[in-house]
A and B are shown apart, each in its own frame.
Chain A
Amino acid sequence: QQQVKQSPQSLIVQKGGISIINCAYENTAFDYFPWYQQFPGKGPALLIAIRPDVSEKKEGRFTISFNKSAKQFSLHIMDSQPGDSATYFCAATVSGGGADGLTFGKGTHLIIQP
């Protein structure tokens, strides 16, 4: 059972444009939603995270939008740059419930064209 659905699988955006990656979850107990960025040959690295008590979190050019009623959250990359080209994973978990591990989406391969 896939608990976190991520789309699209791949995305091509022109430099300076807005990249948008979407995720939907099923488990209403999830209360922590991070995004990870992975460059080729590297492990994923935490990019930004949100809890459902807020609808938006912004860090620099990266913004998470969260819609609790729809059970959806998305990553927006403003003014996308070639250096943002990477694979992005959304994830979710029930915090405080023990070290159960994050449930990841299947990833989005993002290419920013110069």
Chain B
Amino acid sequence: DVKVTQSSRYLVKRTGEKVFLECVQDMDHENMFWYRQDPGLGLRLIYFSYDVKMKEKGDIPEGYSVSREKKERFSLILESASTNQTSMYLCASSPVGNYGYTFGSGTRLTVV
């Protein structure tokens, strides 16, 4: 069963900590995405990558960075976590030219 795996379902971090959210896909997809989901705001694109070592900013990249050293792995980094980054984070992947994204189950991050 093909899937996107996010390393943690729940995380609690302190303000100012550096936070890594990991995402791995086993479908050999070229494209990978990070979204955050907040009540009433829907899904907002943070960063995406269409190839190894390539990254592009989405709609809300401020306060985040990403890393894609291998095709199957896409990491989201919060350099200095803040309380307004408390959210559900969703990773997704897709093959080139196909928008039937496969999402992971999400990581619910709480910054205290």
Contact = CB atoms under 8 A, between A and B. Distances in A.
Given A96-B97, A99-B50, A99-B94, A106 B41 contact: yes
Contact of A43 (B42, B96, B100, B105): B105
A101 B42 contact: no
Contacts of B101: 36, 44, 46, 102
A45 to B, nearest CB: 7
A104 B37 CA distance: 10
A102 B50 contact: no
A100 interface: yes
Interface in A36-67: 36, 41-46, 49
B96 A101 contact: no
A95 B98 CA distance: 8
Contact of A98 (B35, B41, B50): B50
Nearest to A45: B103
Given A42-B105, A44-B103, A46-B100, A105 B42 contact: yes
A9 B97 CA distance: 30
Which of A43, A104, A107 has the most chain B CB within a 10 Å cutoff?
A: A43
Contacts, number: 64
Interface size grouping (class) on chain A: 20 to 34
A100 B4 CA distance: 19
Q: Which of A9, A42, A102, A105 counts the most chain B CB atoms within 10 A?
A: A102
B31 interface: yes
A43 B104 contact: yes
Interchain residue pairs A-B with the least CB separation, the first 10 = A43-B103, A106-B42, A99-B50, A99-B31, A104-B43, A101-B45, A46-B100, A104-B42, A107-B42, A101-B48
13 contacts: A9-B40, A32-B99, A34-B100, A43-B92, A43-B103, A46-B101, A95-B97, A99-B31, A99-B96, A101-B33, A102-B45, A104-B43, A104-B44
Interface of A: 6, 9, 32, 34, 36, 41-46, 49, 89, 93, 95-96, 98-107
Interface of B: 4, 30-31, 33, 35, 40-45, 48-50, 56, 58, 90, 92, 94, 96-97, 99-101, 103-106
